[in-house]
Structure 1
Amino acid sequence: MVLSQYTKEFKYNLNLAAPVMLGMLGHTFVSLVDNIMVGQLGAAELAAVSLGNSFVFIAMSIGIGFSTAITPLVAEADTENNFKKGKSALKHGLFLCTALGSVLFLLLLIAKPLMYVMDQPEDVVVLAIPYLDLVAFSLIPLIVFQAFKQFSDGLSLTKYPMYATLIANVINVVLNYLLIFGKFGFPEMGIVGAAIGTLISRVVMVFFIWWVLKARDKSKAYVTNIKIFVLESAMIKKVINIGFPSAMQMFFEVGIFTSAIWLSGTLGQNPQAANQIALNLSSMTFMVASGLSVAAMVRVGNQKGLRNYTELRRIAISIFYLGVVLAFIFALGFVLLHKVLPTIYVDLDDPLNAIDTREVVAIASTLLLVSAVFQISDSLQVVALGALRGLQDVKIPTIITFISYWIIGFPISFYLGKEEVFGSVGIWIGLIAGLTCAAILLFIRFNYLTKKLIRLEVPTVSV
């Protein structure tokens, strides 16, 4: 098949994925704003936000990963014109996401004492705990929002979650400015102010997306008159069977990046702050790839509903190609701007912290060069996961991600990340190994499944 058969899909793929990308970047932008504003307070405060968010990111990955079960079920039902099946997927997904968000919040509260036994700087832990309390609670509205978002994506209404996220970002920026620094008569609350801004903005997201979906003809009947406690065991089982492995996939990946935060914390607050800068910038490019992953999930789910597996494979491969092109552009940007981007996060004019600031920028600049290396593998693995979720194939990919990140990646990070070996750079070499292994194995899995489905495909007759 000639290359144009794939590239002709780029425009449609981007139109579908762009709102998802912007919405996901919006989530990351909340963290970016927190980091930039908190970074003005000092390296200890930035490291505290990094440590607190490392716990939240683990829980968030489970919630967001679980919610992705809703998208392929709704996409398949939409193609089949099966309203009842689509609404059932939303209702049961919404119930399970709300319950999961509440459980994750409670688990984070229980896990707080772990900070004291993780060999982290004591002043960083003291600052991180009150920040974590509030951001942990914000997980509940965030995961409820994710349920509505994944439903909306399944109907190919990808722009509405983007609107909700953008509005939440504006609220978060304003509240951060007022509460972190105590502007216009508001109390100066430091990083706790950043946590309050995050919580309020996430509550707003939930109400806004429900209101928007309720006002649209295509989605109104789905999001109104939901009998949330009238449940069917068959659909609960179906959502869990897709959602739980998907949650574990995201947990294993986010977990290894979180381990990078903890491992860099053992090197000191400056390496930890530098790691947070590089991780925050890398997460933005990952969100773009994640947007393509959702596009793959939706379009593959649609074609699965039609049982057109030849077209399914062609469309998915077109998204793989697009992901590689964008990843190469991001890698080039990191190489060219690796010394400039970290300076956004720090106050270069602060004479009291000048030595620490220079060290943070120097380490972060080097880590961005390492991040440039894994852009393509990171993009390919997350798009492949999206395509496999669209096929509702989640169990084998879960095993693949566990092996890639925790049997291969983490041991490398742990050994090479010691101060006497390669330090921060060694930690990120382990990330490269894990992501590259996952990308290769997940693509092999997709290649195997689609070729098998095509062989079994019943030819359609034109009429």
Structure 2
Amino acid sequence: MSSNKEKAAKITLFALTWPIFVEILLHMLMGNVDTIMLSQYNDNAVASVGVSNQIMSVIIVMFGFVAAGTTILIAQNIGAKKKEKASQISVVSIAANLLFGILLSLSLLLFGKPVLLAMNIPEELIADSLIYLQIVGGTLFIQSVIMTLGAVVKSYGFTKDAMYVTLGMNILNVIGNYVLIFGAFGAPELGVTGVAISTAISRAIGLVILFICLYKRVNGYLPWNYLFEKFPKEEIQQLLKIGIPSAGEQLAYNLSQMVITAFIATMGTVELTTRVYAFNIIMFAMLFSIAIGQGTQILIGYLVGEKQINKAYERCLKSLWIGVAISTFFMITLSLFRETLLSLFTSNPEIIQIGSLLLLISIILEPGRAFNLIVINALRAAGDVRYPAYIGIICMWGVSVTVSYTAGIMFGLGLIGVWIAMILDEWIRGILMLRRWNSKKWVTMSFVNEEGKNS
């Protein structure tokens, strides 16, 4: 076990980052597979699954309470050579998110229909939406454990394991969809029910494989008995201390985006559609920043645990310039082919014209986003979790939402006004985060103290 952990602690940013990038890309594609395949079956089926997924996306953010804290605590303890404590945090995290997942899954089973009715879903969609919500939502505890296991495995430096499991889940999901949606190979034609069953089964198999990977990486040692020796109050407090601000910030972001989408909806169908297409293209540049941010978080967790403060400080700055350079390069590349890329989605000249302008403006947007995704993860890894959350929520609502309405609707700039708001939000937050990192106030916020006990 020790050799694996020492190997993890010495891993490079590139070795950590590229599997994370592929994993995130696969997760993004997996989220679109059900929609694409159902679109060949029935338009109402697509709408039904879309509504249910919107509800479950909020629940999945809540699972991030524990998963976000898991990565940082394990990385810091591995860096501090506290291998036993890292193992204890692993089992506490898995158990905590399992229980949390079961409670939320039961709530969807029991209250799924009232929630759908409260959302004013068209009557013809309720039956399929409810079936999907009950099958996939009722087994959502599997996803909660997958998220936690993925966080544990990546914290030990084995990011390829999570990538391979996600790839396998994608393949199983596509095969299951084909068989159960359309009734291939003599199977019943189940439509939405088939998609739900395929999703649940592929996740369950992924969970088993990820458990096997974890046991292999820790040489069969996970101290489950620690859960029964005493109530793990200290570990749970630390997980929530990190997780609640991080997940709260993500929840605030999702809500702010829903409000901005509502603003765009008032501009018209063309603007709403253009935003979706432009964002889908921009996501490919954004994924690099997300992956570099997550890889940097793990490395800085190791370095902070080792008390290598200067190396941690320099690691963030190196990752930042790498992330800014890569995201800018890819955004410029995408913008050079902007009309061709948009033509893959639509032939509407108005959408292509507005979307092309948005992709050009995004050359300024994406470097600012890289600042946030990388420096915020670095601050969290060092234990500074509240400042990024507070500043993030203030900027999302005080800048992004407010300026989107003012510039986009009041001044009549439309989507250009919304993009200006996003640029201001990302760059203001990015500059504030970099100032915070340069201040080194995070130096005293580690969750592992000098004496070898968790703070």
Which of 413, 426, 441 in structure 1 is aligned with 2:404? 413
Q: 3-state DSSP class of the match of 1:156? A: coil
**Alignment partners' CA distance in 2, 1:282 and 1:311:** 32
Contact 2:369 2:427 in 1 (8 A): yes
Question: Aligned partners of 2:345 and 2:30: how far apart in 1?
Answer: 14
- Following the alignment from structure 2 to structure 1, what is the Cα–Cα distance between the partners of residues 362 and 136? 27
Which structure has more RCO (C-alpha within 8 Å, separation ≥ 6)?
1
Q: Tell me the equivalent position of 1:160.
A: 161
Question: Who is 1:379 aligned against?
Answer: 370
Q: Deviations over 1:42-68 (max 9, x none)?
A: 876656555443333332223235412
Corresponding residue number in structure 2 for 1:242: 242
Q: Work out the number of aligned pairs and report it.
A: 433
Kindly report the root-mean-square deviation, in angstroms, between the aligned alpha carbons of the 2 structures: 3.6
Q: Which amino acid aligns with 2:199?
A: T
Q: Does 2:247 match 1:256?
A: no
| Deviation string, structure 1 residues 428-454 (Cα, Å, up to 9, x no partner) | 54433333332222222222126977x
Report the 3-state secondary structure (helix = DSSP H, G, I; strand = E; otherwise coil) of the residue aligned with 1:220. coil
Letter in 2 for 1:434: D
1: CA distance, partners of 2:371 / 2:263: 26
Deviation at 1:193, TM superposition (A): 4.0
- Aligned residue identity for 1:306: E
Q: Residue by residue, what CA displacement relative to the aligned partner does 1:77-123 show, whole Å, maximum 9, x if unpaired? A: 21222222111211221122223323444565647656666688887
**Equivalent runs, 1:418-457 vs 2, <5 Å:** 421-423=412-414, 426-449=417-440
Moved more, 184-193 or 417-426: 417-426
The 8 Å contact of residues 48 and 125 in structure 2, kept in 1 or not, is answered as yes
Q: Deviations over 1:400-424 (max 9, x none)?
A: 1111112221233345555994555
Q: Structure 1: how far apart are the matches of 2:179 and 2:352?
A: 27
Identity of aligned residues (%): 24
Could you tell me which residue of structure 1 aligns to residue 33 of structure 2? 33
TM-score, normalising length: structure 2 = 0.81
CA deviation after TM superposition for structure 1 residue 197, in Å: 3.1
CA deviation after TM superposition for structure 1 residue 381, in Å: 0.5
- CA gap 1:308/1:55 in 2 versus in 1, 3 angstroms: same
Q: Could you tell me how far apart the structure 2 residues matched to 1:428 and 1:185 are? A: 50
Q: Is contact 2:88-2:226 (8 Å) kept?
A: no
Q: Counterparts of 2:106 and 2:422 in 1: how far apart (Å)?
A: 30
User: Could you tell me which residue of structure 2 aligns to residue 140 of structure 1?
Assistant: 141
Query: What stretches of structure 1 of length at least 5 have no aligned partner?
Result: 1-10, 349-356, 459-463
After alignment, is 301-310 or 404-413 more displaced? 404-413
CA change 1:134–1:374 in 2 (3 A) is: farther
Indicate if the aligned counterparts of 1:65 and 1:249 stay in contact, CA closer than 8 A: no
Corresponding residue for 1:294? Answer: 294
Is the CA contact 1:40–1:345 (under 8 Å) kept in the aligned structure 2? Answer: no
Cα distance in 2 for partners of 1:227, 1:215 equals 20
Q: Is the 8 A contact 1:410 1:434 kept in 2?
A: no
Q: 1:414 to 1:127 in 2, by over 3 A?
A: farther
- In structure 2, runs of 5+ residues without a counterpart are 1-10, 445-449, 451-455
Separation in structure 1 between the aligned mates of residue 131 and residue 354 of structure 2, nearest angstrom: 28
Mapped to 2, the partners of 1:164 and 1:293 lie a distance apart of: 21
Q: Which moved more, 1:135-144 or 1:279-288?
A: 279-288
Corresponding residue for residue 96 of structure 1: 96
Match of 1:398 in 2: 389
The CA distance in 1 between the partners of 2:392 and 2:122, in whole Å, is 31
Q: Once the two structures are superposed, what CA deviation does each residue of 1:116-151 show, in whole Å capped at 9, x if it has no partner? A: 666888877786554444443453212211111111
Q: Residues 179 and 104 from structure 1, CA distance in 2 versus in 1: closer, same or farther, beyond 3 angstroms?
A: same
Deviations 1:257-316 (A, max 9, x none): 344455555667776555444444444443332221221111111111121211111111
* Structure 2 partner of 1:61: 61
Letter in 2 for 1:76: Q
Distance change in 2, residues 1:415/1:213 (3 Å): same
Which is further off, 329-338 or 390-399? 329-338
Q: 1:325 to 1:273 in 2, by over 3 A?
A: same
Deviation, structure 1 residue 378: 1.7
Q: TM-score, normalised by structure 1?
A: 0.80
How does 1:131-210 map onto structure 2 within 5 Å?
131-210=132-211
In 2, distance between residues paired with 1:192 and 1:362?
Answer: 39
For 1:190 and 1:419, the matched residues in 2 are separated by 44
Contact 2:289 2:373 (C-alpha < 8 Å) held by counterparts: yes
